[in-house]
C-alpha cells in the first residue's frame, strides 16, 4: 500500500471516529491514528501536529509538540508553571514559605537543586540556579528590611546625581543613615524649631 493510500485510509477512519484522536508521525513520515484510551510507547522522535483533549464535556487544545522527547516536555511544563521570572527576582509574599511553595507547585521542603523558589532568609542555596548564577552560597536575609535598588544598568553612562553614593553590591546590606535633623514649626501665634 502506498503512503497516499495509507493516509487516505487513516483519514476515512478519522472521519468515522468523532473524538479523542491523536495523529502522530513516528519518524517515518507516516501518520498513525491513536484513539481515546489507547497508549503508545515510542522510542525516538514523536511529531504531533495538533490535538485536543476532551474532559468533562469541555474540549481543550493541547500545545503542538514537535520533535520533543518526554524530558523536554516535562521541563517545558515545569517552566510554564514558573511565573517566567528571571533568576534572582524577589517576590514579596504574605504567605509563609510552605504556603508559598504549595501555591506555586513547589515541594513542601526546600531543596536547593530542585526547588523553584528560595526564601530570602539567609539559607544555603549551594547547587541552585540562583547560587550558581550569582556565585553565592546563601540567599540574602531580607526578613524585616526595606529593599533598595542599585544603579546597575547595561553599562550606559550615568549622570553624577544618579550614581550610587557608596560601594554597595547586589545582595549586600546597607546600614541605616538615621541622623539628627530639625524642622521649623510655626503658626500665627507660635514658632519653634524641632
Place of cell 528560595: 118
Please, is 34 exposed, middle or buried when counting C-beta atoms within 10 Å of its C-beta (0-12, 13-18, 19+)? middle
What's the domain range around 20?
A: 3-79
Residue with cell 498513525: 32
- Per-residue pLDDT of 94-141, as tens digits, reads 888 888 888 878 888 888 888 888 888 888 989 888 888 878 888 888
Same domain, 13 and 66: yes
Instruction: Give 77 or 12, the one with higher predicted confidence.
Output: 12
pLDDT over 60 (residue 82): no
Q: Is 73 helix (H, G, I), strand (E, B) or coil?
A: helix
Domain boundary among 30, 48, 79: 79
For residues 100 and 124, membership in a common domain is answered with yes
pTM of structure: 0.43
pLDDT digits (tens, 9 = 90+) for 19-50: 444 444 444 444 444 555 555 555 555 555 55
DSSP string over 1-63 = --HHHHHHHHHHHHHHS-S--EEEE-SSS-EEEE-TT-----SS-EEEEEEEEEETTEEEEE-
Q: Count the domains in the chain.
A: 2
- Kindly state the average pLDDT of the residues 164-183: 75
Q: Is residue 178 part of a domain?
A: no
Amino acid at each position: 500500500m502506498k503512503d497516499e493510500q495509507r493516509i487516505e485510509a487513516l483519514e476515512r477512519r478519522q472521519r468515522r471516529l468523532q473524538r479523542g484522536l491523536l495523529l502522530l508521525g513516528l519518524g517515518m513520515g507516516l501518520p498513525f491514528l491513536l484513539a481515546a484510551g489507547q497508549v503508545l510507547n515510542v522510542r525516538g522522535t514523536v511529531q504531533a501536529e495538533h490535538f485536543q483533549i476532551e474532559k468533562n464535556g469541555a474540549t481543550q487544545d493541547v500545545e503542538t509538540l514537535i520533535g520533543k522527547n518526554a524530558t523536554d516536555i516535562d521541563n517545558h511544563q515545569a517552566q510554564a508553571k514558573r511565573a517566567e521570572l528571571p533568576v534572582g527576582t524577589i517576590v514579596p509574599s504574605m504567605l509563609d514559605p510552605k504556603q508559598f511553595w504549595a501555591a506555586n507547585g513547589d515541594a513542601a521542603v526546600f531543596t536547593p537543586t530542585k526547588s523553584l523558589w528560595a526564601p530570602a532568609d539567609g539559607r544555603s542555596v549551594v547547587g541552585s540556579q540562583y547560587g550558581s548564577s550569582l556565585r553565592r552560597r546563601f540567599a540574602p536575609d531580607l526578613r524585616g528590611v526595606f529593599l533598595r535598588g542599585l544603579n546597575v544598568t547595561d553599562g550606559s553612562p550615568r549622570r553624577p546625581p544618579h550614581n550610587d553614593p557608596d560601594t554597595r553590591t547586589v545582595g549586600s546590606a546597607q546600614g541605616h543613615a538615621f541622623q539628627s535633623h530639625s524642622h521649623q514649626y510655626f503658626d500665627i501665634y507660635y514658632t519653634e524649631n524641632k
